[in-house]
Amino acid sequence: MTKWNVDEFVQAIVSKTESQYEKKIDEATINEVYYAVSAIVSQEITGSWTKTKESYQKNNPKQVYYLSMEFLIGGLLESNLLNSGMWESCNQALVKLGFDPVEVYRQERDPGLGNGGLGRLAACFLDSMASLHYPGHGYGIRYRYGMFEQRFINGYQTELPDFWLKNPYPWETRRDEEAVYIEFGGTVHMLKRNDGSLECKYENTDKVLAVPYDVPVVGYKNQVVNTLRLWSAEPIFVSSQSNTEDYYRHLEHNHSIEQISGILYPDDSSEEGKRLRIKQQYFLVISSLKSIVKDYKSNVRKSLIHLPDYVVIQINDTHPSLAIPELMRMLMDEEGFGWDTAWRITTKVFAYTNHTILSEALEKWPIAMIKSLLPRLYMIIDEINERFCQGIWFDHPELRDKIPDMAVIADNQIHMARLAIVGSFSVNGVAKLHTEIIKTQEMKDFYKLYPNRFNNKTNGITHRRWLVMANPRLANLITETIGSRWIKHPRELTHLLRYTKNRPFLEKLGQIKQQNKKDLAKYIHKATGIVVDEQSIFDVQIKRLHEYKRQLLNIFHVIYLYNELKENPQLDIVPRTFIFGAKAAPSYYFAKEVIKLINTVASVVNHDPSIKGKLKVVFLENYNVSLAEKIIPAADLSEQISTAGKEASGTGNMKMMMNGALTIGTLDGANIEIKNLVGDPNIFIFGLRSEEVFNYYQNGEYSANETYQNDERISRILHQLRDGIFGQQDLEFKDIYYHILSTNDPYFILEDFDGYVETQQLVDQAYQHESKWLSKSLINIAHSGKFSSDRTIQEYATGIWRIEKQ
């Protein structure tokens, strides 16, 4: 790529706005400038993109394909500028032309093609694969409607459709020449060929065209540009209809096909058994496999027997696990392999990442649904199951009585996680604790059967987006202090450990946090009208709203503090600003109640002069990647308070640690690994451990009612909910009261409350020693390099994929 200096960039923007809009730069709108700059960057990337593709075609390295129903990529203009080495000159050029770069970048709308952590992980992985020179690509769906846009009306979440393609998306290229033709449903007939082999004939199928839209994935200053391929479903054009009825039926049919890539399911970690969802999954799987096999054939030109030497497919959770029977189908029905050879090939190609052990999130599909939608795939899954169960019966008699718990097909359902384990050569968890739970509890029978298949790959985040780009002040301070090598080698952030007692350095660190908080305070004021105390602790919980993540515990703490202050207005507490960001699945009633509660508490607390502004509660609407980028650099305290054993890893914890926030959290997910790195004095740990949680579930000895009776702080809060202290409308939170007590508090909010409050008091004390706090903050930053997704991808590459840097 050519190096751009500021004047060249100024020139390029001026001539682009002229050629694209026939406007002089001072007549151009900020939106037009956004498109002009995007076009310049796109052009700049195109050369490297072509070269990267050509080199893969020529050298035929083994490539990894990351299949995921979600890619939460966030804004691309700024990250493409950064990674292609044009960021600083673009910033300066825009300023020279009289535009605020931040405003220009804000013109881009986040493609909300994911729900939360799982989708964001996929995006961080793409960034790291390209930046580490690995030939790795993403395959996903180009939903016309992404994650809904959240608005609060009277404190309630409302969902607006996210038609993100209303304006052209400058980073995608439609590739008609790469479109593939696919079929759903219908009936299958097995015919005997003359040589005795079987042939499948399909009748009355629905025919769909899968059209790819490719998005470049730019490596950090290394000329590598990989591909994120997003599939769009389109009807196949059929010639004129003979009568009106047919015509309307035809239109309706076309509409139903477009629906396949119509909307993203806004359900985080719980599955709604929907036919459309299976169609979406199969659509991703078959389109991607066809495209992968087509490329293999045209580049490698060898029998598909050698596929595993050139292709490895990582499936992100079970959502794409139909790829396993689908590859079997292609190998047998289209390529003529027998079962055993096809199975040998297939099980060397797939690797599966497990993301959750929440039982409601484990996908199971009714047999009848798969049979009618994917009749041939059902036959294959049935055969996989049959052979798998027989294998246990004959070769592992010790597991015979476990067959009902292990069978791929059981209770009239297909268990997708079991299918994924049986059909993959690798099964990984996403943090050490999570992998241990998989091995010793959730999937322990499978672990006995395939001990070598299971492995851990602790998640990570791209430090380029989450530190260099989101927090340039901090990134610059780090570079001034230890040089810039850390950007390519994030583990070198540990060189900062030399400065933990260096006053001038810590002071600068403190000033930067202060400036970031000032920026966020400004944003909060503009977005909500709330004025927050910039000196207060910015206490942040941003993540999907879910009972196991326990936003309720957080707001109970706020209510408790408010009650204390009301009783004793002189109470000496450190002022705090509680910042929330969270979307609830539209069908998740309880989660939406919690949103309403937080908003109600906010309106009471924020408007009560008697507490003298010591507490503020801010719930920012529409949490997404770009909002996360604004909040995280300003966080002092990172809330990671899930019920132990429930959060597979968490990645929000890593982003905030990297930006100097201290964690308050349970021993769950990657919090444990953070604690082991930074040490006990630099993190605030409380609450039940996962073993204790499991024991409670097993022995039934926990009584929420007892805790509620015995702890006055808790009974007071629960009574306030029951009796409508916070609900302006009558008693609207009594459901929360009843829900917690009648379900015996399955997430142990009441049980962990005391430890949480006590630990929050320790946070207050620690925050008052400014230089000590800053030193702790620095220790967190210094150890955060381990949580760069570069480390994670390196582990996948050598431990699972066996691929080489190009």
Q: Total residues at the site for ligand PLP (CB under 6 A)? A: 13
Half-sphere exposure of 184 (CA within 13 A, CB side): 26
Closer by beta carbon to ligand PLP, 219 or else 652: 652
Of residues 278 and 545, the one with the C-beta less far from ligand PLP: 545
Long-range own/partner contacts, residues 174-180 (CB < 8 A, 24 or more apart): 174/211, 174/212, 174/213, 175/211, 175/212, 175/213, 175/214, 176/211, 178/212, 178/291, 179/209, 179/210, 179/211, 179/212, 180/209, 180/210, 180/286, 180/287, 180/290, 180/291, 180/294
Place of tokens 């390196």: 794
Report the catalytic residues: 355, 543-544, 549, 651, 655
Rounded Cα distance, 118 and 214, in Å:
21
Task: Single out the segment in contact with ligand PLP by CB under 6 A; choices: 398-406, 594-602, 606-614, 647-655.
Answer: 647-655
Least separation in angstroms between residue 268's CB and ligand PLP is: 9
Whole-number minimum distance, CB 121 to ligand PLP, in Å? 8
642 binds ligand PLP (CB under 6 A): no
Which of 527, 741 has the CB closer to ligand PLP?
Answer: 527
Residue 412 · residue 378 · CB < 8 Å: no
Task: At 724, give phi and psi (nearest 5°).
Answer: 85, 30
Sole binder of ligand PLP in the list 111, 135, 140, 652 (CB under 6 A):
652
* CA pair distance 160, 163, nearest whole angstrom: 9
The enclosing H or E element of 598 equals helix 589-606
| 16 vs 675: CA distance, rounded Å | 50
Nearer Cβ to ligand PLP, position 120 or 786?
Answer: 120
Report in angstroms how near the CB of residue 124 gets to ligand PLP at its nearest. Answer: 8
CA dist 159 and 156 (Å) reads 10
For the segment 348-377, give every residue that binds ligand PLP (CB under 6 A): none
**Binding to ligand PLP (CB under 6 A): which residues in 654-683?**
655
Whole-number Å distance between alpha carbons of 150 and 153: 10
Residue (72 or 704) nearer to ligand PLP, CB: 72
Which helix (DSSP H) or strand (DSSP E) does residue 38 occupy?
Answer: helix 30-59
Per residue, what are the HEC states of 380-430? HHHHHHHHHHHHHHHHCHHHHHHHHHHCCEECCEEEHHHHHHHCCCEEEEC
Cβ-in-10-Å burial (0-12, 13-18, 19+) of 246 comes to: exposed
Q: What's the min distance (Å) between Cβ of 276 and ligand PLP?
A: 24
Q: For ligand PLP, which residue of 625, 657, 685, 693 counts as binding (CB under 6 A)?
A: 625
Per-residue binder mask for ligand PLP (CB under 6 A), 79-118, x = binder:
-------------------------------------xx-
State the minimum distance, in angstroms, from the CB of residue 548 to ligand PLP.
Answer: 10
Neighbour-count burial of 681, counting CB atoms closer than 10 A to its CB (0-12 exposed, 13-18 middle, 19+ buried)? exposed
Torsion of CA 173, 793, 422, 188, to 10 degrees: 10
Min dist. Cβ of residue 237 to ligand PLP (A): 38
Question: In sequence order, what are the residues at sequence separation of 6 or more whose Cβ sits closer than 8 angstroms to the Cβ of residue 517?
Answer: 534, 538, 634, 636
Least distance (Å) from ligand PLP to the CB of residue 116?
Answer: 4
Is-contact 215 232, C-beta < 8 A? no
The footprint of ligand PLP on residues 19-78 (CB under 6 A) is: 72
Q: Tokens at residue 590, please?
A: 């309880």
**Least CB distance to ligand PLP at residue 353 (A):** 15
Stretch that binds ligand PLP, among 58-66, 606-614, 645-653, 713-721 (CB under 6 A): 645-653
**Region from 21-29, 213-221, 622-630, 733-741 binding ligand PLP, contact rule CB under 6 A:** 622-630
170 torsion bin: left (phi>0), alpha (psi -120 to 50), beta (else): alpha
Residue 433 interacts with ligand PLP (CB under 6 A): yes or no = no
End-to-end CA distance of the chain: 17
In angstroms, what is the minimal distance from the CB of 620 to ligand PLP?
12
624 binds ligand PLP (CB under 6 A): yes
Nearer to ligand PLP, 550 or 722 (CB): 550
For ligand PLP, the closer of residues 212 and 650 by Cβ is: 650
Which CB atom, from 212 or from 460, has the smaller least distance to ligand PLP?
Answer: 460
Interacting residue with ligand PLP among 327, 605, 628, 800 (CB under 6 A): 628
User: Which of 116/216 has CB closer to ligand PLP?
Assistant: 116
Whole-number minimum distance, CB 465 to ligand PLP, in Å?
9
Q: Which stretch binds ligand PLP (CB under 6 A): 205-213, 649-657, 778-786, 796-804?
A: 649-657
Among 42, 651, 720, 788, binds ligand PLP (CB under 6 A): 651
Output 490 or 652, the one with its CB closest to ligand PLP: 652
Task: Identify which range of 134-142, 217-225, 388-396, 646-654 contacts ligand PLP by CB under 6 A.
Answer: 646-654
Ramachandran region, residue 461 (left: φ > 0; alpha: ψ -120 to 50; beta: rest)? beta
Whole-angstrom distance, CA of residue 134 vs CA of residue 131 = 8
Nearest Cα neighbor of 580 from 132, 157, 26 is 157
- Name the residue whose CB lies closest to ligand PLP: 652
Q: CA 620 to CA 268: how far, in whole Å?
A: 19
The single residue among 138, 650, 660, 665 that binds ligand PLP, judged by CB under 6 A, is: 650
Build a one-symbol-per-residue string for 113-142: x at contacts with ligand PLP by CB under 6 A, - elsewhere.
---xx--x----------------------
Q: Give the range of 253-261, 620-628, 725-733, 792-800 binding ligand PLP by CB under 6 A.
A: 620-628
- In angstroms, the Cα distances linking 456 to 307, 491, 584, 713, 801 are 25, 20, 29, 41, 14
Report which of 491, 575, 782 is spatially closest to residue 660, judged by C-alpha positions: 782
Sequence-distant (6+) residues with CB within 8 A of 120 are 72, 74, 114, 461, 625, 651
Token couple for 412:
């009239």
Quickly list DSSP for 708-773: HHH-HHHHHHHHHHHHTSS-SSTTTTHHHHHHHHHTT-TT-HHHHHHHHHHHHHHHHHHHHSHHHH
* Shortest Å, Cβ 802 to ligand PLP: 29
Q: Which is nearer to ligand PLP, 618 or 628 (CB)?
A: 628
Residues 515-554 that bind ligand PLP (CB under 6 A): 543-544
Cβ proximity of 142 and 7 under 8 Å: no
Q: Which is nearer to ligand PLP, 494 or 663 (CB)?
A: 663
CB of 356 to ligand PLP, least distance (A): 11
Strand pairing of 409-410 and 350-353?
unpaired
The DSSP 8-state label assigned to residue 145 in this structure reads: B
Nearer residue to ligand PLP within complex by CB, 421 or 628: 628
What is the smallest separation between the CB atom of 659 and ligand PLP, expressed in angstroms?
Answer: 12
Positions that interact with ligand PLP (CB under 6 A): 72, 116-117, 120, 543-544, 624-625, 628, 650-652, 655
